[in-house]
Amino acid sequence: MDSQLLRKQATLEKKHWWFVARRIILDWVLVNLNLPADARILEAGCGTGGNLPMLAKHGEVFAFDVSETARQLAEEWKSATIVEGSLPDGIPFAGETFDLIVLLDVLEHIEDDSAALRALRARLRPGGRVLITVPALPALWSYHDERHQHFRRYRKADLAARVRDVGYQLTTISYFNTLLLPLIAGVRLIRGIGFGGRQDDLAIPSPWLNEMMQRVFSQERHLLGRVPFPVGVSLFAVAKVPEINLGDHRNIGGI
């Protein structure tokens, strides 16, 4: 991602409805993971660091990113130890392991996403978990994905297969950002047929609309794990490293 886009994202992360609501939802997910009080958390591909203060509420946070600009912006949050690194072959913190690794809209940027998941698995403690979010539904592919250098959008079955194939035990997988799917799909359809030009989604709508969309999206935290979402703009998954050989255990239950 180019430096100009990173600086724009760093500003938007503080108040754009999507970033704010996603942090609220992920904070709820982490509360329900019941992490150890002294949890060690690694954010792989931390970008400009907007998630770091939220993660720091749940443990000691370490992070890496390949972009120097992103790391400099992330340092301004003063919430984590941040170093240079990349996936799948440049993971830092050699010899260290973590209770939780998060990849928040990162896998879609990596050509060999399976290799990235496999490499990170070795950095998890026995019983440690990985939290993943990715953009969903290939039908929603747009200029936004191209501008942000995505390789793909995921179907639920695709992400589940990636996670299981590299040796994780998948415990939760669900679409989310479902309530606003009709609105987002409509906007992308209109842009896709030539109206409004080629635009990414990094623009804050009017204050009242931004607030409304934030409230609607964040309310999904009360439904995740209780109501199955058949589709959504995004996917999230939680998986763990089995403490013993559990075989092919394929429970996809609550968080």
Does residue 62 contact residue 43 with C-beta atoms inside 8 Å?
Answer: yes
Does residue 57 contact residue 41 with C-beta atoms inside 8 Å?
Answer: no
pLDDT of residue 251: 38
Q: Tell me: the pLDDT tens digits for 105-144? A: 999 999 999 999 999 999 999 999 999 999 999 999 988 8
On average, the pLDDT of the chain sits at 90
- pLDDT above 80 (res 179): yes
Measured CA to CA, the distance from residue 23 to residue 102 in angstroms comes to: 13
Residue 165: Cβ-neighbour burial (10 angstroms; 0-12, 13-18, 19+):
exposed
Segment 157-177 shows an average pLDDT of: 96
Considering only CA atoms, which of 94, 155, 166, 154 is closest in space to residue 130? 166
pLDDT of residue 195: 44
* Confidence grade of residue 202 (pLDDT, cut at 50, 70, 90): low
Segment 204-233 shows an average pLDDT of: 93
What count of other Cβ atoms lies within 10 Å of the Cβ of residue 218? 18
pLDDT of residue 60: 98
CATH homologous superfamily for the domain 3-240: Vaccinia Virus protein VP39 (3.40.50.150)
* Confidence grade of residue 253 (pLDDT, cut at 50, 70, 90): very low
Segment 246-253 shows an average pLDDT of: 41
CA distances from 19 to 119, 203, 217 (A): 27, 12, 10
In one letter, which amino acid is 169? Q
Segment 7-34 shows an average pLDDT of: 93
pLDDT of residue 6: 84
Measured CA to CA, the distance from residue 249 to residue 159 in angstroms comes to: 16
Does residue 110 contact residue 116 with C-beta atoms inside 8 Å?
Answer: yes
Segment 69-88 shows an average pLDDT of: 96
Phi-psi domain of 149 (left: phi exceeds 0; alpha: psi -120 through 50; beta: other):
left
Q: Tell me: the pLDDT tens digits for 95-104? A: 999 999 999 9
pLDDT of residue 247: 46
Does residue 183 contact residue 251 with C-beta atoms inside 8 Å?
Answer: no
Distance of CA 106 to the CA centre of its chain: 6
Q: Tell me: the pLDDT tens digits for 136-149? A: 999 999 888 998 89
Q: What are phi and psi of 235, to 5 degrees?
A: -125, 145
